[in-house]
Structure 1
């Protein structure tokens, strides 16, 4: 089992200075290497120059929800419909968080959410290799791979077999997680109907037990 995670939104609570109301962590879960390879091929298809009569220059950048052209986002999510994976999403509505610890240490929020996402799996996520964008380790407040693996396995032994930091620029599945988290965040934060349409293409993937769509409010 393999999981790729990314986030959207910030963990700050200074709304008058631009902090987002919501922060989203999304994990794309694959059962096999073959499923990952198939998803990668579909993502490469989304980079092609023509889709339904629309012409694009071949897209050679990483897919990031907040930076990808709207029409290309439509193409991306349409192409991914036949991929085989599950989605685990945890969402924090920060206006409802009352924990003094999180309010005074907002940098801890994302790492706490990741831990929650992998310690409430109904026992179906087992011996999973977890991939994280190495550029996000500071934002996630994860000092090293062993720290996260140990803290998750202490609560739920056998959940993670390895945690690895990778480069999102060269890892398409991290980009898939970014597009997933970004669509969920945009749907909630802005109410953008396009974002809702993007979410609806993978909403069924959040069905339990392997998937989840969890609106988290506090650490109590």
Structure 2
């Protein structure tokens, strides 16, 4: 992935040098800009099935510094909204292992990051243009757990499995025992890695509008944003 980022930056610099030689007249499209947008967020997890039935709303706030009509450098804030995952898992086996458990409840995920990136695109002064984006991001994901665990143990099966060791530690245990425990806690995950995306722009009668897809990599979470943005140049 790092080779991809280096390749994009090298391409950007090469195009910039060749274009600047013939593009001496400053235009509106080469002014600094602010891009703000919103859309749909999606959160993927490396080992949890995040099955949100709603539509999390994502947000982007980005400042850009164009080198010319083909290349821009950006610094931005990306918000992934709030995602809810229903937790309903059953594990264990009473006959084989002497215990069975069921997890029931919700897990909430919310996240944001800051990123720096380079955008390479076709001529931005045209009515329509296409481009790619690649950069580096610093991610923060907050997880809120609110669920219960129903746990049933068959102590007779446990005794058969562990023999004398079991009698030493649990001499009075026998039969079935069921417990329910509630878990409510919060945790924060931080990481930094590459991100990439593609976009299409339209110089519409009401201003410059872009439609974007961005994916942010990390070891555990992979947030995705589909956004529509408005660009204000100044």
**TM-score class normalised by the smaller sequence:** under 0.3
Higher relative contact order (CA 8 A, sep 6+): 1
Rg comparison, structure with higher value: 2
Q: How high is the TM-score relative to the length of structure 1?
A: 0.23
| Greater strand content | 2
